[in-house]
Structure 1
Amino acid sequence: MSSVVLEPGTAAPDFTLPDHDEKPVTLSDLRGQGVVLFFYPEAMTPGCTTEACDFRDSLAALQAAGYTVLGISPDQPDKLRRFRERDALTYGLLSDPGHVALDAYGTWGEKTNYGRTYQGVIRSTFVIDVDGTVQHALYNVKATGHVARVRKLIGLEQ
């Protein structure tokens, strides 16, 4: 795992990244609303598609609770655009090939898969409050089922 581990109560690191349409998105511009940031390894892979579709299916409830959802991966904007179109994703996907936000949030680091160790995205989700403070920092989440956990943490489910 990266040396950075964000704890609840810390300020969410600010960043500006291009979205799927290559428009810049700055986290601090979203103050006044909650933000759910999820970091995922690669667009259009099975686990990431499951996770992205779970967020899509929960989007109305999250938005009604005052949250903007943003997904971040190292993919280029054109791949993110294709991912959004293919899976009817209706929230912003941000491109971070330079690992600006990935490093700031401690979501780029050592991973092991089938005995092989490599550097990659540590699937993680952060819930950020209206003041830009991390409420929940969930590292090493599973692609399946963690959106329900996020919904529960922010009070959408009992």
Structure 2
Amino acid sequence: MTVEVGKKAPEFELKANNGETVKLSDYQGKNVVLYFYPKDMTPGCTTEACDFRDHHESFEDLDAVILGVSPDPVESHEKFINKHDLPFLLLADEDHKVAEEYDVWKLKKNFGKEYYGIERSTFIIDKNGNLAEDYRKVKVDGHVESALEYIRENLS
């Protein structure tokens, strides 16, 4: 499946760190910031999560919900949330099916080694469930502010 700006965002159902099962359609009527990240507790992912944490109230003011997704299990997400006081849900995509649907499960290379993993990406989904904007190959620095600004200018 291809994900295309202006089209319906792919529905999903994943376990959240709070033990509940979360579906995209649960957030109909709200803007959703769906961000995919490679791994809990790693430097770049921690910086990104803490940036979202630090701007959480600003997103809430714009009627936007933040959802983080990685292949880590729920238990890892819970530790990550507790350690960094994250005020939003993290979703466990252990079989990476949702990452594949959103086309962020990619062949990566690191120190000459090839492996599959998450390509850091963010999808902004509007109140009707349509993909409003996508950010691929995200660089952490300044990204959260860009996403917030997009929502402020286009979806509020």
Q: TM (normalized to structure 2)?
A: 0.93
CA distance in 2, matches of 1:125, 1:115: 27
**1:69 alignment counterpart:** 66
Structure 1 residue 85 and structure 2 residue 82: aligned?
A: yes
Amino acid at match of 1:44: M
CA distance in 2, matches of 1:98, 1:65: 32
**Runs of 4+ off more than 3 Å:** none
Structure 1 residue 140 and structure 2 residue 150: aligned?
A: no
CA distance in 1, matches of 2:37, 2:60: 20
**2:147 alignment counterpart:** 150
Structure 1 residue 16 and structure 2 residue 17: aligned?
A: no
For residue 116 of structure 1, report the CA deviation from its aligned partner.
2.9
CA distance in 1, matches of 2:141, 2:111: 19
Residue correspondence of structure 1 range 29-44 to structure 2 within 5 A:
29-44=26-41
SS at match of 1:10: coil
Structure 1 residue 6 and structure 2 residue 3: aligned?
A: yes
Q: Deviations over 1:36-68 (max 9, x none)?
A: 000000001110000000000111000110100
State the aligned residue count.
153
For residue 5 of structure 1, report the CA deviation from its aligned partner.
4.6
Identity %: 41
SS at match of 1:147: helix
CA distance in 2, matches of 1:112, 1:155: 36
Q: Deviations over 1:115-138 (max 9, x none)?
A: 332211000000000000000011
CA RMSD, Structure 1 to Structure 2 (Å)? 1.2
CA distance in 2, matches of 1:71, 1:25: 12
**2:121 alignment counterpart:** 124
CA distance in 1, matches of 2:64, 2:131: 13
Contact 2:18 2:89 in 1 (8 A): no
Q: Which runs of 5+ in 2 are unaligned?
A: none
CA distance in 1, matches of 2:114, 2:121: 19
Q: Which runs of 5+ in 1 are unaligned?
A: none
Amino acid at match of 1:122: E
CA distance in 2, matches of 1:27, 1:6: 14
For residue 22 of structure 1, report the CA deviation from its aligned partner.
2.1
